[in-house]
A and B are shown apart, each in its own frame.
Chain A
Amino acid sequence: MSKLLAAIIAFGLFPAAGFAATYPDRPVKVVVPWAAGGDTDNIFRPFAPALQKHLGQTVVIANVGGASGTKGAKEAKDAPPDGYTLYVPHEYIHSTYYTGVADVQYSDFEPICMIASTPSVLTASPKTPWKDAKDLIADAKARPGQISVGATLASTSHFFPALIEKAAGIKFKYVSYEGLAPRMNAILGGHTDLTDSNLTQKGKVEAGQLKFLAIATEKRHPEMPSVPTLKELGINVVYDVNRGLMAPKGTPAAVLARLESSCALAAKEPAFAEAMKLQGTAVRYLDRKGYAAWLKQTDDENRAISKDLGLLKR
């Protein structure tokens, strides 16, 4: 009896502690704001079992695609902040906010951890005449606004070529192709000239179906050392897409701490690292503090880019 009483008192006095001790007691849903099979999905599908292992609860991925990823963001934002609904964004959360596509911004969420970073690669259709990025730049200067780029507007695949436009003093024409798969269809068929892709498309390059013109890393990538960096070509653009885990604002600190520690362990799983290699992605772990600082900085950068590109709406 006294034990029970003590338990009740303890629970009453330290509800957070009691909650944290029981969290998670049911499956955790991770909202991926794009259709399954996209890059984000491919990165979090292998992460889910790793997280599940260290969290001790089922982790279910829910693909809530649509409207440039803002549908899933809204759903995650409106979910109860109890740690049972998580959300996995990348830089689009900043760019869609500043370009006025979405009302949700990164500060509507509590960061948990960053897990992966994928460098962008400027990719061309096999039907284009260019041998390398230099040819492209020369052609683009001769025909401003004529070369078409398949992109998810106001998202990373739009910002990356837009940064190149600015750095090289050229002008592209954008065509809306949301998601990597439709972009690939269009570029393989020659219906668009250029697109942003990543090292997952390596196989197609080797098969001669695509051309990698340049990679947006500091140094050449060990996976594809033949692809020059944009920097080498005198275009000062370094761009990668970074993905992490977030929870709705107001999630109890104890729950966040539990998620953070599980995430840290999950990111170290060798199976996850192996899966990321196939995705042309590096495991990049940042803890809550590190991720928060990174988000703040990236948010400022995206605001600046939006302004530079004349897309700033806020």
Chain B
Amino acid sequence: MGRDGIAGLVCLVTSLALFAATIGLPEASLLVPVGPGFYPRIILGITAALSAALVIIDFTGRATRLEAPAAAPKNYRLVLVSFAIVGVYVALLPWLGFRIATLVFVLVMQVALEPPRSRNSWLRVLIVAVVTTLITYFVFERYLSVLLPRGRWTDF
């Protein structure tokens, strides 16, 4: 099975599961001639049908199978690491507060993307982290009165 087949199957299962979840939703009332499940069922039905079509097309091999691209090898490990760093940042944001979490995040993310090799590049990483945090904090909280998350642990 190709890439499309897998994607199609995942979408098919998801849409069918969601479709099943619409069963038991209240039906049409006196006031509204259709219930809250009416439109979702149409959409999920269409989604399921399109997913099924994708799987079938993939199986019958009508779509031109893509050759593995001969381009430069992609750095998926770094993508995973990046997602993980962003995930931890988002998870810790309400606990550490915007300032601390952002400082650490910008620092770690830079190091992960391009490990500093010299003292100068370490310095640059540090400066970028501090400046980004300070500028966003001051511009948003002080000047634009956008309230940023405060830390529940740190109260900062």
Contact = CB atoms under 8 A, between A and B. Distances in A.
Q: Do chains A and B make direct contact within the complex (CB under 8 angstroms)?
A: yes
Contacts of B31: 153, 174, 311
B139 to A, nearest CB: 16
A27 interface: yes
B30 A58 contact: no
A176 B30 CA distance: 13
Interface in A29-74: 29, 58, 60
Contacts of B30: 310
Contacts, number: 12
A153 B30 CA distance: 12
A131 to B, nearest CB: 30
A311 B32 CA distance: 12
B147 interface: yes
Contacts of A27: 145, 147
A60 B145 contact: yes
- Interface majority SS (helix, strand, loop, mixed), chain B: loop
Query: Which of B30, B32, B145, B147 has the most chain A CB atoms inside 10 A of its CB?
Result: B147
Contacts of B32: 153, 176
Contacts of A176: 32
Interface residues of A, number: 9
Interface residues of B, number: 5
A176 B31 CA distance: 10
A149 to B, nearest CB: 11
Nearest to B26: A100
Contacts of A310: 30
Interface string B140-151: 000001010000
Interface string B1-41: 00000000000000000000000000000111000000000
Contacts of A311: 31
Nearest to A60: B145
A311 B31 CA distance: 9
Contacts of B145: 27, 58, 60
Interface string A165-177: 0000000001010
B143 to A, nearest CB: 12
A153 B32 CA distance: 9
B137 to A, nearest CB: 15
Interface in B89-147: 145, 147
A254 to B, nearest CB: 21
A302 B6 CA distance: 53
A229 B147 CA distance: 46
A176 B147 CA distance: 34
A140 to B, nearest CB: 18
A310 B29 CA distance: 11
Given A153-B32, A311-B31, 10 more contacts: A27-B145, A27-B147, A29-B147, A58-B145, A60-B145, A60-B147, A153-B31, A174-B31, A176-B32, A310-B30
12 contacts: A27-B145, A27-B147, A29-B147, A58-B145, A60-B145, A60-B147, A153-B31, A153-B32, A174-B31, A176-B32, A310-B30, A311-B31
Interface of A: 27, 29, 58, 60, 153, 174, 176, 310-311
Q: Which 7 A-B pairs have the closest CB atoms?
A: A174-B31, A58-B145, A153-B31, A60-B145, A27-B147, A60-B147, A27-B145
